[in-house]
Chains A and B, each alone.
Chain A
Amino acid sequence: MTLEINNLVVEYRTPDGVVHALNGMDLQLEKGMTLGLVGETGAGKTTTALSILRLVPNPPGVIADGNIKLNGEEILKKSERQMDEIRGKVVSMIFQDPMTSLNPVLTVEDQIAEVIERHEDVSYKESYKKAREMLEMVGIPGSRGSDYPHQFSGGMKQRAVIAIALACNPELLIADEPTTALDVTIQAQVLEMMKSLREKNKMSMLMITHDLGIVAEICDTVSVIYAGRVVEHGTLKDVFDNTRHPYTEGLFNSLPNLTNRKAKLKPIKGLMPDPIHLPAGCSFHPRCNYATEICAKERPEKVFRTERHFTECHLYNEENIIKGGVIKR
């Protein structure tokens, strides 16, 4: 197993109160697989990613509990120096917005060469040669490396960011909404490219997104997260075809219906709860159409449908989870 997160609790201790960003996050990602992390804005997707690299801004962020194991080694016990060796080499991250994640005053090849020089024992010249090879790999002519980021289009910038992330052949790539800032045609290109590079480099990938289309396209397993907890996890097929949790159901219902174009969208009612004052019990109960009394009192336990597909919801017990049909899509 490449990455295993157990009961991770991350809090942002601000003057206005404690923001409960992650409340017992569990994730498993096997080698060579792609895990989709799906959830609304503010569900804790990016915080999860930053925790893996131990880059949660501190203060105010504090990793209060839990553990993160990378190839069996505990990340949270590593020194800052050891972390620097991991960042970019073992785990690298693609940031959400390519427009702001490239330094405007350095050329693109400077920025790719930087990570190569940092982690690989190569000369200055070789690192630039390799930087240009990386650019070619993501489909940009190597000679464009001497350009500045502002001379690149949005799609090219995101490719350049991907080139930086892949420059040292990481074992785990965290992609934090890599296509959100791009238009749909470029999105498709970038996704295609990421898919082929993943095969080529045999790496694991953590795909953070709120776009279920991207999940269907690229992921092997899916974790649906809500208010800093995984509410449903399973393989792509489990989650898409045997949806159990009402929140996951709500996400699917918010998608436009391609067969009946006149059908109205059915968005999930209400808003993400304020993470300073999370509802007691199941955090989703104020927005849930199926909520009962117990939902406001007790946090639901995991109920397993198969060995790998589980959901955290009071609607289910060992028997009815297999059959399904408790919620209507």
Chain B
Amino acid sequence: MNNPKKRSQWADAWRRLQKNKLAVCGLVIFTVLVLGALAAPLFLDYETDVTGINAQNRLQSPSSENWFGTDRLGRDVFARVVWGSRYSLSIGFSAAAISLLLGGTIGAIAGYYGGMIDHVFMRVMDILQAIPATLLAICIAAALDPSPRNIVIAIAVSFCPSFARVVRGPILSIREMEYVEAAKAIGAKNRTIIFSHIIPNCMGPIIVQTTLSVAIMILIVSGLSFLGLGIQPPTPEWGAMLAESRSHIRDHSYLAFFPGLAIMTTILSLNMLGDGLRDALDPRLK
């Protein structure tokens, strides 16, 4: 109170996030993963290191030469896992972004205006939600060609309802708050009220939902690829790598272990980060 320094909301949130050990841990792991994905092309050549077949060197156990061992075509598993993060992360994030934009906007409009608009939008979302997201994604992915773009579409559409719900819920209560009425009383437009008064107040649930969704989406991408509906071999996608490793799981279990570990680490770090962000971004929790 005695130190009225100029602080932005984000600087405040950052300070609070730093106090949360688990969240920092998640952030560090996640940053390493993202940096690895970004830097992969600098150290690893896609043609030779990632997809190049080297039959003499097949099914080697992890060693100083091949950190994660090699698969049945003699490809370095480490290179493939690192390169694979590029697909998982980019698909997860773009699907989450599209889903958030689409579902979030629908939820915000439905919640704010209420009445007929709310009914129509939310019933459509209900119909979508009646089908399990994974199943819906499988259907869409099967109907479209299995390309990364179509997988993003499939996952984004199937996650729209949960974003719409997550955004609509808090908006229903926040639109009744006196400060929303006060904003109307100063002549603020509906758009301004939704985006600068209401949405910032439900950032907590939105951010948690987004980070958790990215995690689930990465799982679904892997799942789809595992089933052969997602990214196709020889592209090094974690799910596809798991599928390939099935036949070697008894004698060369590291083939399944490392892609699995990559999936688990990514999701764990995202979950820890998401929880921390929720606490940090809510000024009322100070």
Contact = CB atoms under 8 A, between A and B. Distances in A.
Interface of A: 53, 55, 83-89, 92-93, 95-97, 100-107, 114-115, 118-119, 141, 143-144, 146-148, 150-151, 161, 164-165
A88 B9 contact: no
B186 interface: yes
Contacts of A143: 4, 6
A94 to B, nearest CB: 9
Contacts of A100: 177-179
A87 B177 contact: no
Contacts of B188: 84, 88, 114-115, 118
B189 interface: yes
Given A86-B187, A106-B197, A151-B1, 11 more contacts: A87-B186, A92-B185, A93-B185, A95-B185, A100-B177, A103-B183, A115-B187, A118-B192, A119-B186, A143-B4, A161-B182
Nearest to B5: A146
B283 A148 contact: yes
B183 A147 contact: no
B6 A146 contact: yes
25 contacts: A83-B187, A84-B187, A87-B185, A87-B186, A88-B185, A88-B186, A95-B178, A101-B179, A101-B181, A103-B201, A104-B284, A105-B200, A105-B283, A106-B196, A107-B9, A114-B186, A119-B187, A143-B4, A143-B6, A144-B4, A146-B6, A147-B4, A150-B284, A151-B1, A164-B186
Contacts of B4: 141, 143-144, 146-147
Contacts of B286: 150
Chain B: number of interface residues, binned into ranges? 20 to 34
Contacts of A104: 179, 201, 283-284
A118 B186 contact: yes
Contacts of A53: 184-185
Interface string B183-217: 11111110010001100110100000000000000
